[in-house]
Structure 1
Amino acid sequence: MSQPFQTPIEYLKGVGLARAEVLKKELQIFTFDDLLKHFPYKYIDRTRYYKIRDIQPDMPHVQVVARLLSKEIVGEKHTKRLVAKAKDDTGIIELVWFQGIKWVEKTLMPGKAYILFGKPGFFNGSPQMAHPEMDLWGSANQQQRGALTLQPAYSSTKKLEQFTLDSKGLQKLIAGLLDQYAREIQENLPAYLLNRFKLIGRANAYRNIHFPNDAAQLNEATHRLKFEELFFLQLKLLKNKLSNNAKFKGNVFGTVGPYFNDFYHSKLPFPLTGAQKRVLKEIRTDTQRGVQMNRLLQGDVGSGKTVVALMSMLIAIDNGFQTCIMAPTEILANQHFQTISSLVGDGFVEIALLTGSVPAKKRRVIHEKLEDGSLKILVGTHALIEDKVQYQNLGLVVIDEQHRFGVEQRAKLWRKNVVPPHVLVMTATPIPRTLAMTLYGDLDVSVIDELPAGRKPIETLHYYENQRLRMFGFMKQEIAKGRQVYVVYPLINESEKLDLKNLMDGIEIMSREFPLPQFRISVVHGKMAAADKEFEMQRFIKGETQIMVATTVIEVGVNVPNASVMIIENAERFGLSQLHQLRGRVGRGAEQSYCILMTGPKLSNDGRIRINTMVKTNNGFEIAEIDMQLRGPGNIEGTQQSGVLDLKVANLATDQELLVLVRKCAEAILEKDPQLAHPENQLLNQNFQSKNEGLSWDKIS
């Protein structure tokens, strides 16, 4: 944006120091540009006029043409108010003001016709309107707004309203800003893009998003600004990817040797799916190019991501490098360690586990083996990034559920080797394509979209509270077959605010319904000590207990092939993504598995959509798309990276087609002109540089 728009907001006519302070504090509006980008959150149709007799108390707002009959200040001190009456050919409406009484009273002219606009109410059965907006019928004010059939509504706060900066006050400031500086709004897209995509000019877009004459103008303006916002975001991500490729050289994994081949031919317990083979080929290609790999591996729960990660690590080891896999929790790190150890067997490759629970003596041995290069695979939590953990030659880093780590935490792993290691990021949280293109737009994306052979889809059922006995009966049937059951609750202890089944009540109910010695129950929740949690987990894993009552601490990292039933209490209280993760704890063996969603009788609309979605599909990507529609893109499992989704106009949930379009457009431009040096791209380069001043994207992987 041009220079005038960087001006501090206090210098705008009508603002001043006091109003500037409240704008900064309440709305983070510091400059003219910030105010320009404080877009309306809705538009009120001002084309319709109501008769007074047609006014209903539940209407959000009405517009009436009526002649002012009288005005009168009534009451004293704290009860003082201005009361006026206006009449049309169908009835009389009372108008009331509690603030600015003297000023309003001077401006009112009985006998004149006014346009009245505001929220209606009723007092003693008669229509009333408090603090209406008023324009003289046929006045310059009305004519100026006459074409403005869509009235912008701006978000405000109580504090702002004390400074007369309600929606109307903000509208006046923005109108003044545009009147004075609209001609200074500079174009930032080249003519060839404007023509190709039929986009209106930037200055017009800002005028028309604030003050559209009609719906067509508003749509044109919104489309133009969404295009611009998404285009520069994708350009930033793609340029960053090119820059990383140029800046960060990568170790070349030139051979596939005995570790990989022995494992593939002698130890792999099942044939790889076509999707696993495809992803391994993509990783193999990446690691041969001499450029640091940054690849996101998406795969549903149970799709075989860990095997792909292990085989990638074996390629690194074949080429003389060490590897590590970092997980966000001890439970998940333990799970990876046990899975990899059981897959490779004893004596095949040196592997160790490093978490906060590992004793100091064992840690020292791990540190020594890392430094002398004999330890080839290190599995752990954020303990892997501690300064004292030094590798001899780290070649590949696998980061699981990476959205749970901060950018700086991940970057510390980069610094563990002179040549930055290749990075493979894994997630079992399916991410909608559009969100992946934005959150991870500077990574290459691989998807495992097949389940291993022999896996049966999990059958999902919805039971209401009055079907609890039926649910108990089903549990007993499955346990009688030798199977095990998870029962998950949202809370540990009772909450006064939320009427939820809780874990402690659940244990009591389960103990009564499933008594000793015939049945045995494990209990796991986040408030337990790590050793107690592990003890209870192991009892369940070994089959010593048939039922595990738990909170969502078991969402990731628990692999018990014999568990065939997942019961989720108060399922309507969970997000779709979490429900899908929990369901993924079963269905890991060859037997048919089930997920039972228990809910109360009354479901909100969103709750019903979530439950129906779970019953209808096992496809994590389909579920993620619906989740994004319900919750918005910034909330999905905390995946938002700071600054990446700071979108003012565009919405990833509803603007998916546009995002795909602008991504392809940005890719095509950078393919022909990676430095944006061609004359026709000078404008793009200039705006790209100004948008990215002060941002460091080179450490986001």
Structure 2
Amino acid sequence: MTQPKGRPPALFPLFAGIDTLPGIGPKGRAALEQMGVEKPRDLVMTLPASGITRRRIAALSEARPPEIVTITVTILRHHPPQVRGRPWRVHCTDGTTDLTLVFFRPRENWIEGQLPAGQRRIVSGKLELFDGHAQMVHPDHILSEADPLPPAFEPVYPLSAGLTQGVMTRSAKAALQLVPEVQEWIDPQLIRERGWPSFTQALVQAHAPQSPADMSPDSPARARLAYDEFLAHQMTLALVRREKRRLKGRASAGDGRLRRAVLDHLPWPPTGAQARAAQEIADDMASDRRMNRLLQGDVGAGKTLVAMLAALVAVEAGGQAVLMAPTEILARQHARALEPLARAAGIRLAALTGRDKTATRQQILTDLADGGIDILVGTHAVFQKDVHFNDLRLAIIDEQHRFGVGQRLELAAKGDVPPDMLIMTATPIPRSLALSQYGDLDVSVLDEKPPGRQPITTVMISDQRLDQVTDRLKSALAQGARAYWVCPLVDESEVSDLTAAEARFTSLRAQFGDLVRLVHGQMPTDQRDAAMADFASGVAQILVATTVIEVGVDVPQATIMVIERAESFGLSQLHQLRGRVGRGTGASTCLLMYHPPLNETGARRLTTLRDTEDGFRIAQVDLEMRGAGDVIGTAQSGLPRFRIADLEHQSGLMAVARNDARALLERDPTLDSPRGVALRHLMWLMQQDQAIRLVQVG
């Protein structure tokens, strides 16, 4: 393999092909590559996944079957199978009690060579009772008395088809021989406080655990290696952040007149959290460094107002702003929500989506290039080549589908003077995930609800009480209420018995007539928009929907949310759906309708939702239940792939690594100190090549 410029020669053997290790041929290489192991470095970072405790016993009478034991026996005689397909049995004794070893399809010369009659052998494996007699099927180890005993605790590696424990153990041992002695890159004080071994010692210990305690993420060796991964990752984010900050931005300082006009127009003042976030953003934009900020807010925390105030800073400074949403529904809804605020400020706001007819689109593009449009709202299509701004100063991304760090790096490199960037996320993210995913961004958190937002009463109810639900709905609608009814699938399918939206729509239509509308993702957009408009205006009072309404749909008069088969949704999704009600002044209810019996996971999800409206608490439970990739959605997560570190259980280490990386870069911007040079080694080891180039540009 060709070595990238700059990688220390001591690390070359670790980055050679995996088949440079003894005993790995083409088949072994293919099997290891299935596990993502392509070079010795990957194998070094692939730790045992579990372990086997082997108890050494002197006599069979000490065994507590079924258990894994190691015992010395004398081979008495072999019983080859008389009928094809039957096992080969070997009769042994410990001098008092008999033991039968059982083998399926062994080669005759191999088994007689391994277990010669009259000889003593050490066997280790699972001892069980069969018809009251002790037996061991396919012992894991057959050794002579001169051989070293198998360890009392034996590590077990993850395997793919075509690999055995023996091959993995030998290959890992060979790969460990290639790890050079390295200078310490962790802060010495942290090592003393935590009692961590050196990097090489940690690897050796983690590959040879002596007990189940050594397999724990909190064991000194594993915790240290996890920290190494976190530190390399956070160093990369710190370098990316520094690189972005070095990119010259433009100072956009507003005089506040447009913002004052909007705030005077509101029925109540912004919350403390909104005011704080708006000020942080305005301060960033006023500096000549490019802003890269994440605005993280729970459902209904008022991100839209903060985004509008940010956009107005750009307009006050003589420029333009763009707000990008992931879907057309959301883009149009943002435009509808912001239009009254734009009118109050006396500025022009326009929406641009893929559905705009040619003439309309052309007029918008002309006005945008001339500076006649102050704020543009659209989908990611606003990045197309024919879209030109007169003076774009702020890009706001409503980031339902996330960018990874790499894409943010690419975005940062576009344009002579890239605009300030504000990324909004509606998903409350536990701190450890926010650090791993957005560690290169400054973060503003909205953790208060605006005044007037009502608490939502959340109730769990069995779907066997469906009639009671529709009866209650009838009386609520008679008083003018509006209700969402969410179903998990579009139509009945053979693979699932989840009630379908179309079937539910038909049955509710039979009861409530023309008051019911249906929306789902496979409908033509104009039909979907018409159904939503009827619901928003009150012409319809029940909207049957799939999860297309999960994010951003805003009808303040809707006060009832029914979620059918609620146990089949993820926690964050349920929280987002519930957030569609409680947006006006009316008391709101969310009914979690489940199909009994509930399993443990389903019950924990629904009771968590019933007991709290705190999105950050809900996100933490979701993380504990599902794991990091699932919470964020692995495909678009931009999450780093850690081989050893475990975000769910070691989040505290991530925060330490972030502070450490930022502090070190402040003290040693070029990483030329002894610790800085050692850290470069770590970055090469953890394959953060992109980040090393950022160090090299200084």
Whole-Å separation in 2 of the counterparts to 1:580 and 1:396 = 30
Does the Cα contact within 8 Å between 1:44 and 1:150 map onto a contact in 2?
A: yes
Whole-Å separation in 2 of the counterparts to 1:385 and 1:409 = 14
Pair 203,409 (structure 1): closer, same or farther in 2 beyond 3 Å:
closer
Shift of 1:114: 4.7
Matched, 1:479 2:485: no
Whole-Å separation in 2 of the counterparts to 1:591 and 1:697 = 56
2:113 aligned to 102, 106, 109, which one? Answer: 106
2:452 aligned to 429, 454, 460, which one? Answer: 454
Q: SS where residue 62 of structure 1 aligns? A: strand
1:72 aligned to 70, 79, 87, which one? Answer: 79
Amino acid at match of 1:692: Q
1:586 aligned to 581, 590, 600, which one? Answer: 581
Pair 510,167 (structure 1): closer, same or farther in 2 beyond 3 Å:
farther
Amino acid at match of 1:153: V
Match of 1:206 in 2: 203
Matched, 1:521 2:496: no
Instruction: Tell me the C-alpha RMSD between the 2 structures.
Output: 2.7
Matched, 1:423 2:432: no
Match of 2:5 in 1: none
Q: Deviations over 1:207-235 (max 9, x none)?
A: 11111223565522111101111111111
Does the Cα contact within 8 Å between 1:330 and 1:355 map onto a contact in 2?
A: yes
Q: SS where residue 426 of structure 1 aligns? A: strand
Q: SS where residue 463 of structure 1 aligns? A: strand
Amino acid at match of 2:476: E
Matched, 1:556 2:551: yes
Match of 2:442 in 1: 444
Match of 1:366 in 2: 364
Does the Cα contact within 8 Å between 1:81 and 1:101 map onto a contact in 2?
A: no
Match of 2:248 in 1: 249
Match of 2:668 in 1: 673
Q: Deviations over 1:399-428 (max 9, x none)?
A: 002434677887787677531001110011
Shift of 1:613: 0.6
Whole-Å separation in 1 of the counterparts to 2:61 and 2:543 = 65
Q: Deviations over 1:334-382 (max 9, x none)?
A: 1100000123337821111111111111110011011111111110112
Amino acid at match of 1:151: E
Does the Cα contact within 8 Å between 1:240 and 1:697 map onto a contact in 2?
A: no
Does the Cα contact within 8 Å between 1:385 and 1:409 map onto a contact in 2?
A: no
Q: SS where residue 487 of structure 1 aligns? A: strand
Amino acid at match of 1:10: D
Does the Cα contact within 8 Å between 2:285 and 2:420 map onto a contact in 1?
A: yes
Whole-Å separation in 1 of the counterparts to 2:296 and 2:39 = 41
Does the Cα contact within 8 Å between 2:244 and 2:412 map onto a contact in 1?
A: no
Match of 1:258 in 2: 257
Match of 1:240 in 2: 240
Match of 1:170 in 2: 168
Pair 5,564 (structure 1): closer, same or farther in 2 beyond 3 Å:
same
Matched, 1:539 2:534: yes
Whole-Å separation in 2 of the counterparts to 1:169 and 1:227 = 28
Whole-Å separation in 1 of the counterparts to 2:183 and 2:603 = 46
Amino acid at match of 1:3: F
Whole-Å separation in 2 of the counterparts to 1:568 and 1:472 = 13
Whole-Å separation in 1 of the counterparts to 2:608 and 2:64 = 41
1:131 aligned to 138, 157, 161, which one? Answer: 138
Does the Cα contact within 8 Å between 2:46 and 2:644 map onto a contact in 1?
A: no
Structure 1's unaligned 5+ residue stretches are none
Scaled by the length of structure 2, the TM-score of the pair is: 0.90
Q: SS where residue 435 of structure 1 aligns? A: helix
Does the Cα contact within 8 Å between 2:484 and 2:562 map onto a contact in 1?
A: yes
Amino acid at match of 1:500: L
Amino acid at match of 2:525: A
Q: SS where residue 459 of structure 1 aligns? A: strand
1:355-434 to 2 correspondences below 5 Å: 355-404=353-402, 417-434=415-432
Q: SS where residue 35 of structure 1 aligns? A: helix
Shift of 1:83: 2.4
Shift of 1:101: 5.5
Question: Which is further off, 669-678 or 393-402?
Answer: 669-678
Match of 2:7 in 1: none
Whole-Å separation in 1 of the counterparts to 2:122 and 2:509 = 70
Matched, 1:149 2:152: yes
Does the Cα contact within 8 Å between 2:252 and 2:393 map onto a contact in 1?
A: no
Shift of 1:660: 1.8
Question: Which is further off, 455-464 or 316-325?
Answer: 455-464
Whole-Å separation in 2 of the counterparts to 1:12 and 1:3 = 13
Whole-Å separation in 2 of the counterparts to 1:181 and 1:257 = 62
Shift of 1:64: 4.9
Whole-Å separation in 1 of the counterparts to 2:691 and 2:258 = 42
Matched, 1:296 2:299: no
Whole-Å separation in 2 of the counterparts to 1:369 and 1:300 = 35
Does the Cα contact within 8 Å between 1:209 and 1:221 map onto a contact in 2?
A: yes
Does the Cα contact within 8 Å between 2:232 and 2:688 map onto a contact in 1?
A: no
Whole-Å separation in 2 of the counterparts to 1:2 and 1:237 = 23
Question: Which is further off, 92-101 or 555-564?
Answer: 92-101
Match of 1:83 in 2: 89
Whole-Å separation in 2 of the counterparts to 1:341 and 1:46 = 71
Pair 528,119 (structure 1): closer, same or farther in 2 beyond 3 Å:
farther
Shift of 1:19: 2.2
Q: Deviations over 1:140-190 (max 9, x none)?
A: 231xx3xx33211112133x1xxxx22233123223443x435x3534525
Does the Cα contact within 8 Å between 1:295 and 1:423 map onto a contact in 2?
A: yes
Question: Which is further off, 479-488 or 274-283?
Answer: 479-488
Amino acid at match of 2:235: L
Whole-Å separation in 2 of the counterparts to 1:125 and 1:213 = 33
Match of 2:39 in 1: 31
Does the Cα contact within 8 Å between 2:47 and 2:157 map onto a contact in 1?
A: yes
1:271-290 to 2 correspondences below 5 Å: 271-290=269-288
1:19 aligned to 16, 24, 28, which one? Answer: 28
Pair 126,473 (structure 1): closer, same or farther in 2 beyond 3 Å:
farther
Q: Deviations over 1:606-654 (max 9, x none)?
A: 2111111101110000011111111111122326667742101111111
Identity over the aligned pairs, expressed in percent? 36
Shift of 1:15: 1.4
Shift of 1:462: 0.6
Q: Deviations over 1:258-312 (max 9, x none)?
A: 32222223x2332100000010111111112211101010111111100000011
Pair 694,444 (structure 1): closer, same or farther in 2 beyond 3 Å:
closer
Does the Cα contact within 8 Å between 1:37 and 1:648 map onto a contact in 2?
A: yes
Q: SS where residue 80 of structure 2 aligns? A: strand
Does the Cα contact within 8 Å between 2:457 and 2:588 map onto a contact in 1?
A: yes
Pair 64,319 (structure 1): closer, same or farther in 2 beyond 3 Å:
same
Q: SS where residue 567 of structure 1 aligns? A: strand
For these two proteins, the number of residue pairs brought into alignment is 677
Amino acid at match of 1:387: K
Does the Cα contact within 8 Å between 1:397 and 1:424 map onto a contact in 2?
A: yes
Pair 416,316 (structure 1): closer, same or farther in 2 beyond 3 Å:
farther
Pair 419,177 (structure 1): closer, same or farther in 2 beyond 3 Å:
closer
Match of 1:687 in 2: 682
Structure 2's unaligned 5+ residue stretches are 1-9
Does the Cα contact within 8 Å between 1:231 and 1:666 map onto a contact in 2?
A: yes
Does the Cα contact within 8 Å between 1:294 and 1:443 map onto a contact in 2?
A: yes
Amino acid at match of 1:82: W
Does the Cα contact within 8 Å between 1:82 and 1:105 map onto a contact in 2?
A: no
Amino acid at match of 2:590: C
Pair 271,190 (structure 1): closer, same or farther in 2 beyond 3 Å:
closer
Amino acid at match of 1:469: D
Matched, 1:7 2:30: no
Whole-Å separation in 1 of the counterparts to 2:590 and 2:692 = 44
Amino acid at match of 1:608: A
Scaled by the length of structure 1, the TM-score of the pair is: 0.90
Amino acid at match of 2:211: D
Does the Cα contact within 8 Å between 2:78 and 2:117 map onto a contact in 1?
A: yes
Question: Which is further off, 519-528 or 612-621?
Answer: 519-528
Question: Which is further off, 195-204 or 221-230?
Answer: 195-204
Does the Cα contact within 8 Å between 2:505 and 2:517 map onto a contact in 1?
A: no
Does the Cα contact within 8 Å between 2:488 and 2:500 map onto a contact in 1?
A: yes
